[in-house]
Structure 1
Amino acid sequence: MTHQIDKKTFAAWLADGRELAVLDIRPADEVGYASPLFATNLPADRLFAEIDRFIPRRSIRTVLVDDGKGAAVAAAEALSKNGWGDLHALKGGIPAWTEKGTDNLPTFDVPGLPFVKKIRDEKQTPVVFAAELQAWRDAGEDVIVIDTRTLPEFEKGHVPGAVAIPGAELLLRFRDSVPNPQTKVVVSCAGLPRAILGAQTLIDAGVDNFVAYLDEGTRGWTEAGFGLEQGLTATFGKASDQAVRFAEDHLATLSKDDQLTFIDLETAKAWTSDPERTTYLLDVRTPEEFAADHLPHSISSEGGQLLGVAYRTLSVRGARVILVDDPLGARARIVAHWLARRGFEIALLLHDFNAEKRAAA
C-alpha cells in the first residue's frame, strides 16, 4: 500500500538507524549534485527498468521523492502493483522538504565534500595550487599529475599532461605510471573529493614520492587562467608484474589499521539471499574487467566512484556491502579503507576470475 509521509516523519526515518531506501525521482539536471538529500537519483523515466538494481529487496521501507507535482505518488502506486511493499512518497516533495531552508536538514548519505575536508584537516593532506604546479613545470621539475576521475570524465577535459588513473586503481597502476620515487605526484579531479582521497590513499599506503592534491582540481586550474586538454591522452594499461608487487607491498601499509572482513563465495550467496537483510554485491574492478567476466547478480560499481559518491549506487541505508575484486584486492581494499570510515558495513570477496580459464587450458 502506498502512503504519503510528511517532512517530520521522513526526518525521523532518516535518523532511526533502520534500513531505509530513498530515491529522488526528479530529472538528473534538476537534482544536480544530489543536494539537498544526497540520495540516489533515479529519474522517473528510468525507475521501473532499474529500481531492482538499486534496491535488491522489494520489502524494504522505501521513500520516493519528487518535485511536489505528484510523480512520486503515481510511481509508488504503480510499483505497489508489481510486488513492491513498504512504499511511501514524501508529501510535497523537495519543495516541502526545503521550504524553511536547508540548514540543519538531515541527509540520506554523508555528503562527500564535508567528509573529505574532515579527512584533509585530520591528516593534513598536502595541497598544491595551480600556479605552483605550473611553476614547477616551467622550472623543469619532475612532476606528474594523476587524474582520479572516470575515463569519460577525464576525456572531456583534464590538466594538460595528466594521466588518468581512477581512484580505486591508484596502487595497482602507480608504479607503471610513476617509476621514479623522486617524482612529485599531484592528484587531481574536478574539484576536491576524489583528489583529496586519492592523494591521502597514496600517503596512507606509504609511497616514497611526495604526494599532494591539486586545489579545486580542474576547476582551480581553469580559474587560474590555464586551459584544459581533451581526449584519452594518457591512461593506464595492464599492470606489470613490478606494479602488482608494488601494490601488494603497499596494500599492507594502507590496511594496517583497517578491520577488514573477508568472505567466501558461499557466504556471499547466503547474505544476498537473506530475506531479512539487504546486501549489495558490488564489483569494484574496471567496467571492462566486469564485462569480460563477473559473478552472477553482481553489479559493476567502479571503485573510484564509490569513494566520492556512494549514494549513486547504495540506495539502502544500513545495507551490507560486499566488494568483489581479484585475488590481490587492490581496488577493494582502497574502497573499504574509506567507506568503512563513513559507517558502511563492508566485506571483501576476492575471487579468481581466471581459475576456470587456467583449468581449461
Structure 2
Amino acid sequence: MIRPAIRIASVAEVRAALIEGREIALFDVREEAPYSRGHPLFAVSLPLSRIELKVLDLAPRLDAPIVLYDDGEGLVARAAARLAALGYSNVAELDGGLQGWRRAGGEVFIDVNVPSKAFGELVEATRHTPSLEAREVARLIADDADVVVLDSRRFEEYRTMSIPGGTSVPGGELVLRLQDLAPRPETTVIVNCAGRTRSIIGSQSLINAGVPNKVFALRNGTIGWTLAGLELDHGAARRFPDLSAEAREAARQRARALAQRAGVRFVDRDTLEAWQRDPGGVSLYLLDVRTPEEFDAGHLPGFRSAPGGQLVQATDEWVGVRHGRLVLADDDGVRATLAASWLIQMGWRDVHVLEGGLAGAALEVGPRPPRRPPLPSGAVAALAPQTLAAEMEHSVVIDLATSRRYAAGHVPGAWLLVRARLADALPRLSAGQRLVLTSCDGDLAHYAIADIAALTDRPVAVLAGGTAAWQAAGLPIERGLTRAVEEVDDVYKRPYEGNDNATAAMQAYLDWEFGLIAQLKRDGTHGFRVL
C-alpha cells in the first residue's frame, strides 16, 4: 500500500512551539522501554502498538498539531496512517527522528514522566524544601516523637511498601486533610514517596498552603530508606480518616490564599459548556482531581479521573498536547486549586478551576472508560472463552497485552507478541493453525485484526471480551513470561516500584534525578517558574 507523504517538522519548529506556548503534541511511537532510554523533555509515549487505546484522550482535538518520531525503526509512517484513519488532520514527522533531535543539539532525557520529575528537582533547589534523611526519621519514629509520616503515593504503591507507621495520603489530599491528621501545630509532618518528586511536591504543597506545622520531605523516599539498610512495611492499610468540617474549612482558607499567590484562574459552568461545544481551536482537558473512589461515586460528564497528586507527578499520562487548556474540578475548590497552582508553575498557561465544582450538577456514576474508536466491523469470529477452551488444540493464541499484564495472567499457552512487530513474529509461530487474538479487554485484539489480515492468509478469530472474560469465566490462568517470541522490551521497569529493585539501580535513579536541573538548563524549552 502506498502511503501519502508526511509533512516534515524541523527540530527548530518543535522547539519554537514549546518555548512560545503554542500547542504541540510530540509523540514517541516506540514502545515504552525504548522511549524511557532517551527522548525529548516533552515527548509523550504513544506506542504504535496501542495508539487506539490512548490517543483520543491524549489528543482530544483532531486538528491539533502532532509531531511523530521514532529512532529509525520505521514506525512513523504506520503511526501517521493510523492517526489519519482516526481523523487526525495535522500530523507531521520530526526531521531525522530522535537522531535528528540529537544532531540539532536537542537535549535527550531518560526515564518517564520526566517534566514532572525535573520540575520537582527545580522546586527543591529554588525553595530549599526541608528534608530529613532516612536514619533521622527512623530515630524519630523509634523515640515515639510527635511526628506523622504521610505517604503521598497512590494507595496501591503504599500497600506494596511503606515507611513503618506511615499513613497513605496521596499528594493531592495533603492540604485538604492535614488538620485531621496533625491537629496539633507542634506535630512534625514528614512526607514520603518512593523516590523524590512526590515527597518534595507534597511537602512544598503544605508549606505553600501555610500550615503551622514543621514539614519535611523524607530524603529520597523509600529508596533512601532501603539504601540506608532500614526495613519497610508491606501490605499496610492505614488511610486518611473521614474529613471533618474543621479540616475542610481550614483547607479552604489556605486554598483561597494560595490561589491569589499563584494566579489561579476560575471558570464558570456556562463558559465551560461553551468551550465543550466549541473549543475554539484549543485542546480541552477536563480533569477531576478528587480520589478515584469519589470520582466513581459521581462526577461531571466529560471529566476524567486525574487525582491531583498523580496529575502533577505524571501530567503526560493525561495530557498529550503541550499548552492545551486544562479545567480542573473537585467538590470544594481545595484540591483543584492546589493542582492548578503547580501546573501553572510547570508552564501550563491555560489552567482553570471550575467555580462551584460539582454543586447542583447532574452527575454520572461509575468509572469513565477511556475514549476509543469504534471496534472494526467484519466477519472475523469472536470466540466465547468456553469455545476457545474447547478448541485450544486447533488454535495458536496471540496475546497483545503489555508484557507486565501478560505476566500477571494470560490464557495458558498464549504467545506474547508486540503488535508493532507482528510481521517479524508471525513466521515463528506454528503453521497451519487458526490464530486467536486476545488482549486485556479484547479491544486491542479487534483493532489488530487488519494488521493480521495484511500479513497472513491463516484463519483469524478474537477472544470475545479478551483475557478478562476468560478469567471471569473461571478458566485457568497462566502467570509469568512463559512464551515470548522475542526478547521482551516493551515496558519500562521503574527502579522505585516493587520490592525487587537492585541497589545499584536505585542509586543510579537518584543520581539521575540529581542531574535533571542541569539538563533543564541545557534544554531550554521547559518554561517552569517556581513561586
Q: Provide the secondary structure at the position in 1 that maps to 2:312.
A: helix
Aligned to 1:278: 283
- In the superposition, relative to structure 1, how do residues 158 and 350 fare at CA in structure 2: closer, same or farther (>3 Å)? farther
Aligned to 2:189: 185
**1:1-361 alignment, distance < 5 Å:** 2-32=6-36, 35-98=39-102, 103=107, 111-272=115-276, 273-326=278-331, 328-344=332-348, 345-351=350-356, 353=358, 355=360
Identity of aligned residues (%): 36
On the 8 A contact 1:191/1:216 being kept in 2, the answer is yes
- In the superposition, relative to structure 1, how do residues 147 and 19 fare at CA in structure 2: closer, same or farther (>3 Å)? same
On the 8 A contact 2:164/2:233 being kept in 1, the answer is yes
Q: CA deviation at 1:52?
A: 1.0
Provide the rounded CA distance (Å) in 1 between the counterparts of 2:106 and 2:63: 30
Give the structure-2-normalised TM-score: 0.62
Q: CA deviation at 1:132?
A: 0.8
Q: Provide the secondary structure at the position in 2 that maps to 1:315.
A: coil
- Please list the CA deviations of residues 89-139 of structure 1 after superposition, one character each: whole Å capped at 9, or x if unmatched: 33553354346886488xxx9723332233223322211000111121222
On the 8 A contact 1:69/1:92 being kept in 2, the answer is no
Provide the rounded CA distance (Å) in 2 between the counterparts of 1:7 and 1:205: 40
On the 8 A contact 2:41/2:107 being kept in 1, the answer is no
- Please list the CA deviations of residues 113-169 of structure 1 after superposition, one character each: whole Å capped at 9, or x if unmatched: 332233223322211000111121222211111111111221221212111111111
Q: Provide the secondary structure at the position in 1 that maps to 2:266.
A: coil
Provide the rounded CA distance (Å) in 2 between the counterparts of 1:159 and 1:212: 14
On the 8 A contact 1:148/1:195 being kept in 2, the answer is yes
CA-based RMSD of the aligned residues comes to: 2.7
- In the superposition, relative to structure 1, how do residues 78 and 277 fare at CA in structure 2: closer, same or farther (>3 Å)? same
Q: CA deviation at 1:34?
A: 7.6
Provide the rounded CA distance (Å) in 1 between the counterparts of 2:105 and 2:159: 37
Q: CA deviation at 1:7?
A: 4.3
- Please list the CA deviations of residues 60-116 of structure 1 after superposition, one character each: whole Å capped at 9, or x if unmatched: 1101233421222101112213311011233553354346886488xxx97233322
Flag structure 2 segments of 5+ consecutive residues without an equivalent: 364-531
Rg bigger for which structure? Answer: 2
On the 8 A contact 2:38/2:108 being kept in 1, the answer is no
Q: CA deviation at 1:229?
A: 1.6
Provide the rounded CA distance (Å) in 2 between the counterparts of 1:76 and 1:95: 19
Q: CA deviation at 1:59?
A: 0.5
Q: Provide the secondary structure at the position in 2 that maps to 1:255.
A: helix
Q: CA deviation at 1:9?
A: 4.7
Q: CA deviation at 1:225?
A: 0.7
Q: CA deviation at 1:202?
A: 0.8
Provide the rounded CA distance (Å) in 2 between the counterparts of 1:356 and 1:316: 28
- In the superposition, relative to structure 1, how do residues 39 and 288 fare at CA in structure 2: closer, same or farther (>3 Å)? farther
Q: CA deviation at 1:297?
A: 1.6
* Aligned partner letter, 2:302: H
Flag structure 1 segments of 5+ consecutive residues without an equivalent: none
Q: CA deviation at 1:285?
A: 1.1
On the 8 A contact 2:39/2:98 being kept in 1, the answer is no
On the 8 A contact 1:68/1:91 being kept in 2, the answer is no
* Aligned partner letter, 1:330: V
Provide the rounded CA distance (Å) in 2 between the counterparts of 1:175 and 1:144: 12
* Aligned partner letter, 2:165: G
